[in-house]
């Protein structure tokens, strides 16, 4: 049974998934998780304004990758694939990041396009839907809210249309949400930014009801945890839960009226997301309102699971 490792390096976090791949007879079976890790490194801090990755952000990422590399070796993963997304795509000095990754892992990271990121997210989010007792009906609109960008992917068995736009929880916070808590004018400016991006999405992705909205990544899963009033972050309770739009609206409004200290008191919010979760929640709320979507199916499976799937079938 081959063991593989996937690393996703985004604007806000760097994550590791080590999985065992298997077969039953001649048929593949779903990968079995060995280890999942997530660390907030804020690689993309300031990149929207400066156009460059800060040296201290690259160093924070290096420290985490050293730890991941040790675990990959200890657990005996045979193949490793690391992808880097929005912040690295946008940075003029991305060669500095690439050199660091090669030094640590012995191979470069793949700096993937928004289209490639969208396809991997869709694959990871939809692969296990058929195993549900009451599987959701296609088509699926997969929305992956990251730190620097958000991917919109439409499809059923395969992707039919996608677009990556430069709205993410870190980018919008740095652009607009300077006050603690943000002012109504700041929130309005961020919402206007989101709506401009959604007009571009509508031109490329034919989003027509009825469809199933699947929300991915830390902003969405954290909104779900807050909406469910969980006492602690619980991925089992969060994965494949449905959150109605009313709960998304009220959760978003609450997060945006809290100050940083109040958000930090919510045990379900990772410390590295405390300052950006308001923007992430706002993206989800505006998306649902813009297309009159009544609920979001929340998935803990995302681009990491897509990377593992690509290693199972590396064509």
Question: Do residues 127 and 31 both lie within one domain?
Answer: no
Question: Do residues 120 and 218 both lie within one domain?
Answer: yes
Is the separation of the CB atoms in 50 and 186 below 8 Å?
no
**Phi-psi sector, 229: left (phi>0), alpha (psi -120 to 50), beta:** left
Does the pLDDT value for residue 135 go beyond 90?
no
Domain of 64? 3-112
CATH number at residue 264: 3.30.420.150
Give tens-digit pLDDT for 282-306.
999 999 999 999 999 999 988 899 9
Q: Average pLDDT for residues 7-12, to the nearest whole number?
A: 89
DSSP3 helix / strand / coil % (the chain, rounded to 5): 45, 25, 30
Is the separation of the CB atoms in 302 and 121 below 8 Å?
yes
Question: Do residues 209 and 292 both lie within one domain?
Answer: yes
DSSP-assigned beta bridge partners for residue 4 = 19, 79
Give tens-digit pLDDT for 59-116.
999 999 999 999 999 999 999 999 998 778 878 888 999 999 999 999 889 998 888 8
Look at residue 237 and tell me if it is in a domain.
yes
Question: Do residues 196 and 77 both lie within one domain?
Answer: no
Output the pLDDT for position 314. Answer: 52
Give tens-digit pLDDT for 174-187.
999 999 999 999 99
Whole-angstrom Cα distance, residue 146 to residue 88?
13
Which has more confidence, 209 or 76?
76
Torsion angle in degrees (nearest 10) through CA of 11, 192, 293, 237: 30
Going by pLDDT thresholds of 50, 70 and 90, the confidence category of residue 313 is low
What is the domain count for the chain? 2
Does the pLDDT value for residue 30 go beyond 80?
no
Question: Do residues 223 and 92 both lie within one domain?
Answer: no
Output the pLDDT for position 90. Answer: 76
Closest C-alpha to 217, from 5, 4, 10: 10
């Amino acid at each position: 049974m081959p063991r593989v490792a996937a690393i996703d390096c985004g604007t806000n976090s760097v994550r590791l998934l080590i999985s065992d791949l298997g077969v039953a007879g001649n048929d593949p079976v779903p990968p079995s998780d060995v280890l999942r890790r997530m660390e907030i490194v804020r690689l993309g801090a300031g990149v929207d304004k400066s156009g460059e990755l800060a040296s201290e952000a690259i160093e924070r990422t290096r420290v985490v990758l050293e730890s991941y590399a040790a675990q990959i070796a200890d657990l005996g993963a045979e193949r490793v694939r690391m992808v880097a997304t929005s912040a690295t795509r946008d940075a003029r000095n991305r060669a500095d990041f690439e050199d660091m990754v090669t030094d640590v892992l012995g191979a470069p990271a793949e700096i993937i396009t928004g289209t490639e990121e969208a396809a991997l997210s869709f694959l990871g989010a939809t692969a296990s839907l058929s195993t549900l007792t009451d599987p959701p009906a296609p088509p699926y609109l997969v929305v992956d809210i990251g730190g620097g960008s958000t991917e919109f992917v439409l499809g059923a068995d395969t992707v039919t249309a996608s677009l990556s736009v430069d709205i993410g929880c870190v980018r919008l916070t740095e652009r607009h949400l300077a006050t603690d808590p943000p002012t109504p004018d700041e929130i309005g400016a961020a919402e206007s930014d989101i709506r401009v991006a959604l007009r571009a999405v509508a031109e490329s992705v034919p989003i027509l009801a009825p469809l199933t909205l699947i929300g991915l990544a830390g902003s969405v899963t954290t909104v779900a945890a807050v909406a469910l009033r969980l006492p602690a972050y619980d991925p089992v309770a969060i994965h494949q839960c449905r959150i109605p739009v009313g709960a998304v609206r009220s959760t978003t409004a609450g997060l945006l009226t809290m100050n940083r200290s109040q958000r930090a008191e919510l045990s379900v919010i990772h410390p590295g997301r405390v300052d950006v979760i308001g923007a992430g929640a706002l993206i989800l709320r505006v998306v649902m309102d813009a297309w009159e979507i009544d609920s979001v199916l929340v998935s803990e499976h995302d681009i990491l699971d897509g990377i593992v799937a690509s290693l199972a079938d590396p064509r």
